[in-house]
Amino acid sequence: MEEQIIGALTKLEEYTGFKWDYKDMVGDLDGTLELYINNNREQFAVELKKELREYQLPKIINYKRNYKPLMVIADRIFPTIKRKLRSEKINYLDGAGNIYIRTEKSFIWLDGFKHEEMEKPVTNRAFTKTGLKMVFFLMLHEDAINMPQRLLAHATGVALGNIKNVITGLEEAGYVLQTGKKRQVLQNKRALLDRWIAGYGETLKPSLHIGNYKLMPGHPLQELRNDIIKPGKTVWGGEPAGEWLTDYLRPKILTIYTLEKRNQAMVKWKLVPAEKGEIRLYEKFWNDWPTEGKQYAPELLVYADLILTGDPRCIETAEMIYKKHLKDEFGEY
């Protein structure tokens, strides 16, 4: 991350002449930044991101309540996210030197600087659709990375030839630590989880989408306990699973993971297709070893579903699930 910060701040100084001083910080945020703008010294609490994602905004907006002024520094910030940051009065700087500052002493908005185009990197196989399925399994099972590759292929449904590519991808990204001649463990787990969620939301989850359906009056899915949800074959995800786990969230969107085929589910469950329907059906992509008998998806997936909504009430529920079920494995929220 240090190279990222220095690169962005160096670009800014090149374009504006603003001097700066950055210090790492222990705690929720990543550091503090002092910017010397003309005769003014501005100090910011800094949150760093490689590439700022939509689902991360609620957490950053929440930080703003405790850290003022706040600045987000990221290699890339897309225009739509920049607009949202400005509307929330959150300062930002990207890797090209584009900056937005609005404080009591300063108002600066520079945009239009281009990123240096680099040779397109080879896709890391750990974060393809196939890789994301396997990484999910590895995050659920602490010692799975040491399983024989043939067993790992059977457990994840990933072709044997892809197993080594995925593990190599994790190694190259810094998520695997060699602790013995034949033993490895996952490391930097919180960062891995964040990257997995981004990949899941952008790459894997859309490919699993079966369809959206209306919730008709009197339909069994109006109740958490019903004849449709059958552990091992069909389970709740997202908001309904959040209600199961916290007894706090009252679901508006009903996410379901199932092994049923689209036409079978529509006939069997009397589903009426609707583009904006409350029922969202997805293909179930994991095995049942850790969740056998449960009517909801693994807590890690429920957490990801809730975070990806960007809805503050879902984010709050996700935080509750993380603190109770995931913190010991992945670190502080």
Say what the pLDDT of residue 291 is: 66
68 lies in a domain?
A: yes
Task: Locate 98 and state its tokens.
Answer: 């584009």
223 pLDDT above the threshold of 90: yes
**Statement to judge: residues 156 and 235 lie in one domain:** no
For residue 53, give the 3-state DSSP assignment.
Answer: coil
Give me the DSSP letters along 164-204.
HHHHHHHHHTT-EEEEETTEEEE-SHHHHHHHHHHHIIIII
- Domains contained in the chain, number: 3
Say what the pLDDT of residue 86 is: 94
**Statement to judge: residues 212 and 318 lie in one domain:** yes
Point out the least confidently predicted range of 54-58, 167-171, 281-285, 303-307: 54-58
10 pLDDT above the threshold of 50: yes
Distance CA 328, CA 254 (A): 28
For residue 223, give the 3-state DSSP assignment.
Answer: coil
What is the CB neighbour count within 10 angstroms for residue 299? 21
- pTM of this structure: 0.78
pLDDT digits (tens, 9 = 90+) for 65-124: 778 789 999 988 989 899 999 999 999 999 999 999 999 889 999 998 887 754 444 568
203 lies in a domain?
A: no
**Statement to judge: residues 134 and 99 lie in one domain:** no
Q: Which domain holds residue 304?
A: 208-330
**Statement to judge: residues 104 and 131 lie in one domain:** no
119 lies in a domain?
A: no
13-17's contacts with Cβ under 8 Å and 24+ in sequence apart are 14/97, 15/97, 15/110, 15/113, 16/99, 16/110
Question: What one-character DSSP code corresponds to residue 278?
Answer: S
pLDDT digits (tens, 9 = 90+) for 258-294: 999 999 999 999 999 999 999 999 999 998 766 668 9
**CATH code for the domain of 105:** 3.40.1350
Say what the pLDDT of residue 54 is: 81
181 lies in a domain?
A: yes
For residue 46, give the 3-state DSSP assignment.
Answer: strand
